[in-house]
Amino acid sequence: MADFRSDNTLGCSPEIIEALRRASDGSLSSYGADPITGKLRERVRELFETDLEIFPLATGTGANCLAIASMSDPWSAVFCHADAHVYRDESGAPEFFTHGAKLVPIAGGDGKLHARDLDAVFDDILSTGRTATPGCLSLTQATEAGTIYTPDEMREICSIAKKHSLGVHVDGARFANAVATLGCSAADITWRAGVDMLVFGATKNGAMGSELLVVFGGAEGELARRIHRSGHRFSKMRFLSAQFEAYLTDDLWLKNARVANGMAKRLADGLRAIPSVEILRPVEANIVFARFKPETLTALHDDGFEFYDWSLFGPGSVRLVTGFSTTEAEIDRFVASATEHSKR
């Protein structure tokens, strides 16, 4: 009926498939020395209104961990939200890539870190010099809870991190969804706010598999060597770059994200009208967390709707993710079924 399990279950934008096909014509230099990667670099510099370096990569986990490792020593602390993907879902990859840096999870409402909490946590871990040295702070934008940091929040959080000598990494698996909601420039929520490295995701928003590690302010250091050493240096890099180039052309990244965000809003608005359904988090991107009566969930699954149980947020909680190809008809069918089953 409709699949709300994840934005990773969806296919690709036709523009991206076509770009891959075009990139396949003829022979081009390997390992990023091709003209497609060169053009992408210029385009990303234009988008972020600054000089920067790019590293096209294939997975978010790899890109996050390479960024974090390049800003940390094995004896450093890496701070992140307690629900962060890097903390909960990467099988210890950040610890592996950093050779054992200490991940420090921080609680925060609505999946966000809050500036007021940070000084105390950073001091607690960093002040004696025995626990860990400063590594970096990792933020997720949009967050795993489907919420968003504003430019002001980013600036405030980054300035506290800098005060404690921490680099700032952003896991932007859903960066497009955040920019689409905020309507700000990409620069305002990254380097202008104090971000050093961004993993700019495309896979969840219409690409086949392409994540761009964007490094601001000349902080790339030995990143190229780390990427090579960990087996993430793509020989036919043009195919990663071609996907991203198409993603940025004619604002496909924002168009796709606006559809995904709009569908999440339509879904949340529809569900709010059902008295027994509770929306559990603000809906600011493309994820809706909701609580249903258990029998309603069973009936929805029986109707063929797919979504994941999210009992981390309490019994009866589920996560519903929309994407660039979600349709109004799919949302309306789900809301109609939920309304019907909730009456029983």
Ligand X SMILES: Cc1ncc(COP(=O)(O)O)c(C=O)c1O
Binding site for ligand X (CB under 6 A): 8, 59-61, 64, 85, 140, 144, 171, 173, 203
Instruction: Give the amino acid at 234.
Output: F
CA dist., res. 51 & res. 5, Å (int): 38
- Using CA atoms, how far residue 216 sits from 45, 158, 170, 227, 242, in Å, is 10, 14, 12, 17, 22
Would you say 95 or 164 has its CB closer to ligand X?
Answer: 95
- Residue number with the smallest Cβ distance to ligand X: 60
Would you say 126 or 240 has its CB closer to ligand X?
Answer: 240
User: Closest distance between ligand X and the C-beta of residue 61, in Å?
Assistant: 3
User: Closest distance between ligand X and the C-beta of residue 182, in Å?
Assistant: 17
User: Closest distance between ligand X and the C-beta of residue 289, in Å?
Assistant: 14
User: Closest distance between ligand X and the C-beta of residue 298, in Å?
Assistant: 26
List of long-range contacts for 19-28, beta carbons under 8 Å, 24+ apart: 19/242, 19/243, 19/245, 19/246, 20/208, 20/239, 20/242, 20/243, 22/242, 23/238, 23/239, 23/241, 23/242, 24/239, 28/238
CA dist., res. 132 & res. 138, Å (int): 16
Would you say 12 or 277 has its CB closer to ligand X?
Answer: 12
Would you say 173 or 257 has its CB closer to ligand X?
Answer: 173
Would you say 173 or 274 has its CB closer to ligand X?
Answer: 173
User: Closest distance between ligand X and the C-beta of residue 316, in Å?
Assistant: 23
User: Closest distance between ligand X and the C-beta of residue 73, in Å?
Assistant: 23
Residue 95's closest CA among 132, 122, 124? 132
Work out the number of other CB atoms within 10 angstroms of the CB of residue 262: 16
CA dist., res. 73 & res. 86, Å (int): 17
Please, what's the b/e burial string for 280-302 (b: 16 or more CB within 10 A of its CB; e: otherwise)? Answer: bbebbbbbbbbbbeeebbebbee
Would you say 53 or 83 has its CB closer to ligand X?
Answer: 83
User: Closest distance between ligand X and the C-beta of residue 10, in Å?
Assistant: 12
